[in-house]
Amino acid sequence: MKIKKIMTMKALLILSIAIGFTSCSKSSGTKGGSRATGWKINDKNGGFQHNSKFSKQETPPGMVPVEGGTFTMGKVQDDVMHDWNNAPSQQHVQSFFMDETEVTNLMYTEYLFWLKTVFPPTEENYKNIYTGAIPDTLVWRNRLGYNETMTNNYLRHPAYSEYPVVGVNWIQAVEFSKWRTDRVNENILEKNGYLKKDAKIKLGTDVTAESSFNTETYLAAPRQTFGGNEDIVYKREMNGGKKEVADTAKNVYAQRNSGLILPEYRLPTEAEWEYAAIALVGSREFNIYKGQKKYPWSGQYTRSGKRQFRGDQLANFKQGKGDYGGIAGWSDDGADITNKVKSYPPNDFGLYDMAGNVAEWVADVYRPMVDDEANDFNYYRGNVYMKNKIGEDGSTEIVTADNITYDTLSNGRIMARNLPGQLAQVPVDDNETYLRQNFSTSDNRNYRDGDKPSTRYFNFNTSDEEEGEKKDDKTRMYESPKHSISVDSAGQIIKKYDKSDKRTTLVNDDVRVYKGGSWRDRAYWLDPASRRYFPQDMATDYIGFRNAMSKVGPKSNKKTPRGNPKF
């Protein structure tokens, strides 16, 4: 009887626990279901699909994470140039990724190889694609100097393969960034079974001028990627399934919600670059910065104070008149021109050469002021908002060999604005700007500093349309030279150089900021807050670039009580 009584009590206990679990599950919704509807997510029979296995954004190739935060932008210890363009302002940048080093000759020649193979310059339609991307190697020439060795060898000789690429203008740097975005995402999709294996390296067969991969095209019109070749572009289940051929609801192409496709590679904004270079995270204790750094490293000097490396220069720069690297046998910085990347210690974010070696392009259009009253979050001047062009059939229009757009730069160089396989873009219009408070036009490069209402000649009693374009150059906000270039009916380029001696500035909407000192610069320019500008379609032997990428998701994935946060 006792045994039966105990068994009965156990059964009742188990039953009550089961009922409790059942009531809990009913009150909180179906296990694994939607908190909105209770429906099952990722049902094998169809329905709403979601990547529930996503954990965090992977670190892109060649990059390191930079956790965002607040800092004082534009604060230089000295202002020997008296440019008055470094007014300190408190800014905040979001977390992002940045290239560990500058883009090297090896990285850039890989880009040139791809372009030359996919778009043969021997074909009339494509001849300016490859030639427009080639760096200007003549930047090494000097009227009173012998530099032909660099002119002929610096870009392609293996001795310089790990040196930063130079002779690249701002526009070329942007185009390289777009290409890199596509190649990295193409590789990711192949690894995850969305693209045919090794199609990306079969240049001339699977990958041709009419059949190539573009990230935005894949997202907007995946069936038209690779020229609509379904033997290369696969469909599969979002959470990892075998390749499917049948066109059923559960089979999808990878999209933003797959969590696989990385954001675009791009040039860093000026705020991002300066924040990453100064790396105040290394001078932080809890929630306080312990002082202001003059250089990307700690201390007030350009030489190492560590016992093992005491006296060694921490960057590659010009140390004095006629002194680019010290005396023979005891070189101060180990270089006279540029130097191999990673030749000097990284800063506290793990970034190399954020001072010296080459100065670097950033994304911003130059203005003497940083308008922190208008914005102090992810500051950037240069937004030109575009949208996908819709064709007559209502679908997104894709660039083909017949409608490539070429731009003739002010120096006569011809560059492709878009490539076959990419989506055609047009400026946003009233459909996107109507009744908006945050933006009202497509082009915002000169917002609050350079637009017509900013000039002292603007008549506030008239509209912009009535005001019109002033014929007198004096009414412009910035009286920069106005060089023009055109093509006549015979295809000859006509160049008109502005010879006016009444210009007061070089600032306009086509000059970009570059940051950091170079092998040609004195120590003053090693200060991350220093800023200069240069025409976006011109190149030099001392300006290179590196890429950045925005971080999606949380500011940081893991925090430690003290020290550097870990991604």
Q: How many CB atoms lie within 10 A of CB 73?
A: 25
Angle 63-66-70 from CA coordinates, rounded to 5°: 155
Determine the Cα–Cα distance for residues 401 and 408; give it in Å rounded to an integer. Answer: 18
pLDDT of residue 30: 44
CA distances from 476 to 84, 451, 505 (A): 21, 9, 11
Determine the Cα–Cα distance for residues 503 and 72; give it in Å rounded to an integer. Answer: 33
DSSP output for 262-326: PPPPBPPPHHHHHHHHH-GGGGEETTEE-S--SSSSSSSSSB--STTTTT-BSS----BTTBSSE
Full pLDDT tens readout for the chain, 567 residues:
455 555 555 555 555 555 554 444 444 444 568 889 999 988 888 788 888 888 899 999 999 999 999 999 998 877 788 888 989 999 999 999 999 999 999 999 999 999 999 999 999 889 999 999 999 999 999 999 999 999 999 999 999 999 999 999 999 999 999 999 999 999 999 999 999 999 999 998 999 999 999 999 999 999 999 998 989 998 765 444 444 443 433 457 899 988 999 999 999 999 999 999 999 988 777 787 877 788 999 888 888 777 777 778 889 999 999 999 888 887 788 899 999 999 999 999 999 999 999 999 999 999 999 999 999 999 999 999 999 999 888 889 999 988 899 998 888 889 999 999 999 999 999 999 999 999 999 999 989 887 777 776 777 665 544 444 444 566 677 788 888 777 776 767 788 888 888 787 889 999 999 999 999 999 999 999 999 999 999 999 999 999 999 999 999 876 655 555 555
CB 419 within 8 A of CB 129: yes
Which amino acid, one-letter code, is at 461?
N
Angle 221-223-226 from CA coordinates, rounded to 5°: 100
Q: What is the greatest pairwise CA distance in the chain?
A: 115
**Sequence-separated contacts (24+) of 223-227 with Cβ below 8 Å:** 224/398, 225/421, 226/199, 226/421, 227/421
Number of helices (H), then strands (E), belonging to the chain: the values are 9, 19
Token pair belonging to 97: 């990724």
Determine the Cα–Cα distance for residues 104 and 31; give it in Å rounded to an integer. Answer: 51
CA distances from 83 to 39, 79, 166, 373, 474 (A): 62, 8, 26, 21, 22
CA distances from 429 to 266, 381, 391, 468 (A): 25, 20, 16, 20
Determine the Cα–Cα distance for residues 139 and 150; give it in Å rounded to an integer. Answer: 9
Which amino acid, one-letter code, is at 411?
N
Q: At what angle do helices 170-191 and 105-118 cross, to 10 degrees?
A: 80
Determine the Cα–Cα distance for residues 525 and 290; give it in Å rounded to an integer. Answer: 23
Token pair belonging to 6: 């105990």
Q: Cβ neighbours of residue 329 under 8 Å, at least 6 residues apart?
A: none
Radius of gyration in angstroms for the set of CA atoms belonging to the chain, rounded to a whole number: 28
Task: List the domains of the chain with CATH numbers.
Answer: 60-182+261-300+338-381+510-557 (3.90.1580.10), 193-259 (no CATH)
Model pTM score: 0.88
